[in-house]
């Protein structure tokens, strides 16, 4: 502790250096609160908390597990630790922080990027409420440890109050932080605010007890934070070792030989600061030495925290980062080209063979038709017979060309053939070199791997169909993974542009003197500093949450641009082009409209590829968010914990000072006033800062401050609304500003009731506990006819854990008998359930069962 005090002298003039301070040392395993008076530590007044950096890491790890963020299980601890060190901060008010996140979540969400240790695959984690809920356990330790409910600020105040009264003001005015877990942003300001509030409350109570005859002098509370507090102990040792008096205070070998090993119990550092200083002025020497030590430590910390890599190592880092993604894209591209080439080689010869056969058959049919027409002309047949023969010829030609890929556009051509036979031209049919050329094969491979499947071109050979099956088994998963991976990079680019848009907007608002509507309020009243802090945090944003309309607008805009492009290539109307682009990038693929310009097929291929990436990005950014919300909603229906309760206990309206909790509460001061409309508004006598200071599975404890003005004839009214049945505890036995709402304990037997009443026996029934029912070893039933007796004097009956009814015999006075129960566990008993009794009327009949 004393070494931390010495480290706090950095940047402090020598005349202001004090040997009296209160040290808060928070490491990884435990938190120590140690008072140091004139260089000596008061062990009897020291206190500790079983909550430190390790518990913060565990707490963040549990929060991430509840959200199922996809973190590898073996890296969950490391990820939670990195998030704690990189993004966590201390909030001034947890309720306001929840409200601030809910109103503009995209402004405060951070994105943590990690890499799987084995597969080297990247993974991303959205960091939201964990940023302030992690360090909050220092001030609300019941979140992490249900057995410990005293906050760090209360521990500090209690430890100082245990010290001698003449040094308390000095300790309050010099609180020193030490340890890596005190490096959270605004940690010192939260400690200073809470301790000052406790001190001011004590001064107000003192003034009231003296009937305002004595006004206590204000106590200055100051928490000292510096940039070396992470390694404060080591730096403090360096400062002391570099002083000129150090050599005079260390234990020498001669002293060790004279006194023996017990000399090690004597603190040499205390002798250093308590012995008389030399008369020589060493201020300049100490100042220079402190500056040298600071520079040396800064260089050491820079070497330990930053890797000074050369340009070659940086290029290697970027190469190893990009290489997996680039390799995946290159492999998919080569796989597509190879597939197109193989399909072209397998199908094109078969198509040529079919083309030749069809051409020969068409020629024979044409000659047959001409011969038939000549015969009919010689026989002087009617015109109708000639048209019938011609229609039969057209039908045979059409049936032979059903395999033609232009069948949807050739319908009009064949329809015109009936009326205009002179337009028949074999050159108008598709040549086999166009049917399965490389561009057409590439288009077929793309529509197959993307599962669009227009169906206008299909493999006809046995070899082509077998190759298509094997090709799709490997190609479709490969293509889907490549598309998803590329969409991740595209979403990062969209996030980056959106963040830049937010920054530009905030700069414009700042130039127009439009400040933030939400400000973090501390007791220091430094709003401008808080605004600078918020703007500096905004510049570091790497991840935001985009809305669904914005993403859908991007997708629809891409469809419109594609429709305009396809309209320039194909002879389509704009609606047809928009229809084709939409069903293509959404992988619907009806196949009723397909590209017909073979030399421009590469443009639709590239367009569809980028469209699939954009569609996948939309699903990744919007769809995943709603899926997570649905999962969180489902878990909140069954797994009610402290965090879920706190999420419901957020402030919704700061101006009206309303707090919505579970159960929802509202506080007001009831003062005799008139019934005018102005009297219905909130008065300056209403209570302020209504807070939830303790939450248990079956109770919520509230706390509030007095109004700005006090009225002698006033009382407080508590309004609350709950899902279940809650009872208000006896507020007369509570303190002036403390109430609690309680229900049946969740670990006790539920719904204890009297099922049947006989002359001298009663049948009780109950339900198992709501929680830990599988750990119950037995049920204990207590009954008595005198409620004034302690529970040790009640009659006790043990029941097996699998039995939920019990008959109690030998009851002398049934009308005055009370019953209660508890669950018996291995190491403890649950709280008693609500007692029940039988109420008899004057006619000695059972009229009511409570």
Supply the DSSP symbol for 620: I
* 175-178 vs 223-224, strand pairing mode: parallel
Q: Is the pLDDT of residue 840 over 60?
A: no
Mean pLDDT of 36-64: 87
**Mean pLDDT, to the nearest integer, of 192-199?**
92
Structure tokens at 259: 């006194």
Helix (H, G, I), strand (E, B) or coil at 799: strand
Max distance between CA atoms of the chain, in angstroms, equals 148
Give me the sheet containing 750-757, strands edge to edge: 750-757, 762-767, 805-808
In Å, how far from its chain's centre is CA 33?
32
- 399 pLDDT tier (thresholds 50, 70, 90): low
Q: Is the pLDDT of residue 240 over 80?
A: no
Q: What is the pLDDT of residues 60-78, one digit of tens each?
A: 888 888 776 778 888 888 8
Question: What is the mean pLDDT of the segment spanning 484-499?
Answer: 78
Q: For residue 568, how many other CB atoms are within 10 A of its CB?
A: 10
Residue-level pLDDT at 304: 45
DSSP E strands in 575-660: the ranges are: 651-653, 658-659
In the structure, what pLDDT confidence band is assigned to residue 708 with cuts at 50, 70 and 90?
A: low
Q: What is the pLDDT of residues 688-706, one digit of tens each?
A: 667 776 655 446 677 777 7
Nearest to 752 by CA among 778, 782, 777, 726: 782
Of the given ranges (125-129, 183-187, 320-324), which has the lowest mean pLDDT?
320-324
Residue 780 CA to residue 793 CA, distance in Å, equals 14
Which burial class, exposed, middle or buried, applies to 125 when counting CB atoms under 10 A from its CB (0-12, 13-18, 19+)?
buried
Range 53-143: architecture per CATH:
Alpha-Beta Complex (3.90)
Is the per-residue pLDDT at 668 higher than 50?
A: no
d(CA 518, CA 515): 9
- pLDDT beyond 80 at 766: yes
Given a cut of 80, whether residue 627 has pLDDT beyond it is no
Out of 53-67, 400-414, 589-603, least confident range? 400-414
Average pLDDT for the chain = 72
Which of the four pLDDT bands, split at 50, 70 and 90, describes residue 234? confident
How far is the C-alpha of 579 from the C-alpha of 340, rounded, in Å? 26
Q: Kindly report which listed range (29-43, 47-61, 229-243, 538-552) carries the lowest average pLDDT score.
A: 538-552
Determine if the pTM surpasses 0.85: no
Stretch 178-186: mean pLDDT: 88
Domain ranges of the chain: 2-50+148-304, 53-143, 322-476, 649-674+683-742, 750-849
Q: Does domain 750-849 have CATH number 2.60.40.10?
A: yes
Q: Between 650 and 612, whose confidence is greater? A: 612
Top-confidence range, 196-205, 369-378, 520-529, 700-709: 196-205
pLDDT at 824 over 80: yes
The pLDDT assigned to 655 comes to: 36
User: Given this chain, do its domains 2-50+148-304 and 750-849 carry the same CATH topology?
Assistant: no
Q: If DSSP states are collapsed to H, E and C, what string results for 173-234?
A: CCEEEECHHHCCECHHHHHHHHHHHHHHHHHHHHHHHCCCCCCCCCCCCCEECCCCHHHHHH
The tally of CA atoms less than 13 A away on the side-chain side of residue 273 is 21
- Please name the fold of domain 2-50+148-304: Nucleotidyltransferase; domain 5 (3.30.420)
70: helix, strand or coil: coil
Find where tokens 């040529």 sit: 352
Q: How are beta strands 836-840 and 846-849 bridged, if at all?
A: antiparallel
pLDDT surpassing 60 at residue 518: no
Q: Give the pLDDT of residue 271.
A: 47
């Amino acid at each position: 502790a004393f070494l931390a005090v010495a480290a706090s002298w950095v940047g402090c003039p020598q005349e202001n250096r004090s040997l009296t301070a209160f040290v808060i040392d928070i490491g990884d395993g435990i938190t120590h609160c140690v008072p140091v008076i004139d260089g000596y530590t008061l062990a009897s007044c020291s206190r500790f908390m079983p909550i430190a950096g390790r518990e913060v890491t565990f707490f963040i790890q549990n929060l991430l597990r509840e959200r199922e963020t996809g973190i590898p299980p073996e890296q969950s601890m490391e990820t939670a630790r990195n998030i704690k060190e990189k993004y966590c901060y201390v909030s001034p008010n947890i309720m306001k922080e929840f409200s601030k996140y809910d109103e503009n979540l995209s402004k405060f969400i951070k994105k943590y990027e990690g890499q799987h240790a084995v597969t080297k695959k990247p993974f991303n984690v959205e960091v939201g409420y964990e940023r302030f809920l992690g360090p909050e356990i220092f001030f609300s330790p019941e979140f992490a440890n249900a057995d410990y409910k005293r906050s760090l600020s209360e521990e500090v105040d209690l430890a100082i109050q245990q010290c001698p009264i003449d040094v308390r003001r000095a300790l309050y005015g010099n609180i020193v932080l030490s340890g890596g877990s005190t490096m959270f942003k605004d940690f010192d300001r939260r400690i200073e605010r809470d301790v000052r509030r406790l001190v001011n409350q004590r001064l107000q109570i003192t003034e009231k007890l003296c009937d305002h005859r004595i006004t206590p002098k204000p106590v200055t509370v100051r928490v000292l934070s510096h940039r070396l507090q992470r390694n404060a102990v080591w730096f403090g040792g360096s400062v002391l070792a570099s002083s000129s008096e150090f050599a005079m205070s260390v234990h020498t070998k001669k002293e060790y030989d004279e006194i023996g090993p017990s000399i090690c119990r004597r603190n040499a550092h205390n002798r250093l600061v308590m012995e008389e200083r030399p008369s020589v002025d060493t201020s300049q020497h100490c100042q220079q030495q402190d500056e040298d030590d600071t520079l040396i430590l800064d260089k050491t910390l820079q070497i330990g925290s930053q890797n000074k890599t050369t340009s070659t190592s940086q290029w290697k880092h970027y190469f190893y980062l990009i290489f997996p993604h680039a390799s995946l894209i290159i492999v998919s591209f080569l796989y597509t080209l190879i597939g197109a080439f193989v399909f072209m080689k397998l199908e094109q010869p078969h198509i040529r063979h079919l083309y030749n056969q069809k051409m020969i058959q068409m020629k024979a049919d044409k000659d047959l038709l001409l011969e038939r027409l000549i015969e009919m002309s010689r026989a002087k047949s009617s015109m109708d017979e000639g048209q019938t023969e011609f229609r039969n010829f057209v039908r045979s030609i059409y049936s032979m060309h059903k395999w033609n890929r232009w069948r949807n556009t050739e319908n009009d051509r064949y329809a015109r053939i009936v009326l205009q036979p002179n337009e028949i031209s074999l050159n108008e049919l598709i040549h086999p070199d166009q049917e399965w050329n490389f561009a057409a094969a590439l288009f077929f491979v793309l529509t197959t791997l993307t599962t669009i499947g227009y169906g206008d071109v299909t493999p006809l050979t046995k070899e082509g169909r077998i190759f298509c099956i094997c090709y799709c088994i490997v190609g479709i998963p490969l293509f889907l993974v490549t598309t998803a991976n590329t969409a991740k990079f595209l979403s990062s680019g969209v996030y980056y542009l959106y963040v830049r848009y937010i920054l530009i907007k905030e700069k414009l608002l700042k130039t127009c003197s439009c400040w933030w509507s939400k400000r973090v309020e501390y007791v220091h009243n430094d709003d401008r500093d808080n605004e600078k802090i918020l703007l500096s945090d905004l510049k570091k944003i790497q991840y935001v949450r985009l809305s669904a309309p914005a993403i859908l607008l991007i997708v629809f805009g891409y469809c419109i641009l594609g429709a305009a492009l396809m309209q320039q290539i194909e002879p389509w109307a704009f609606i047809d082009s928009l229809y084709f682009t939409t069903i293509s990038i959404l992988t619907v693929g009806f196949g009723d409209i397909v590209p017909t310009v073979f030399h421009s097929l590469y443009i639709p291929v590239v367009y569809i590829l980028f469209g699939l990436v954009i569609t996948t990005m939309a699903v990744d950014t919007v769809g995943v968010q709603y899926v997570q919300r649905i999962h969180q909603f489902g878990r909140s229906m069954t797994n009610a914990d402290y965090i879920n309760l706190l999420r419901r206990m957020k402030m919704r309206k700061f101006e009206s000072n309303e707090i919505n909790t579970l159960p929802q509460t509202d506080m007001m001061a009831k003062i005799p006033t008139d019934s005018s409309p102005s009297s219905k508004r909130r008065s300056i006598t209403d209570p302020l800062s209504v807070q939830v200071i303790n939450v248990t599975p079956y109770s919520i404890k509230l706390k509030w401050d007095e109004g700005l003005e006090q009225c002698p004839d006033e009382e407080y009214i508590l309004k609350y609304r709950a899902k279940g049945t809650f009872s208000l505890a006896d507020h007369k036995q509570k303190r002036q500003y403390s109430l609690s709402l309680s229900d049946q304990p969740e670990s006790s037997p539920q719904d204890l009731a009297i099922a049947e009443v006989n002359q001298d026996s009663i049948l009780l029934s109950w339900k198992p506990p709501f929680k830990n029912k599988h750990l119950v070893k037995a049920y204990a039933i207590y009954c008595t006819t005198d409620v004034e007796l302690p529970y040790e004097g009640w009659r006790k009956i043990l029941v097996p854990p699998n039995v939920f009814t019990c008959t109690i015999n030998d009851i002398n006075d049934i009308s005055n008998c009370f019953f209660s129960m508890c669950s018996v566990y291995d190491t403890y008993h649950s709280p008693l359930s609500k007692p029940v009794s039988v109420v008899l009327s004057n006619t000695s009949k059972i009229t009511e069962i409570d």
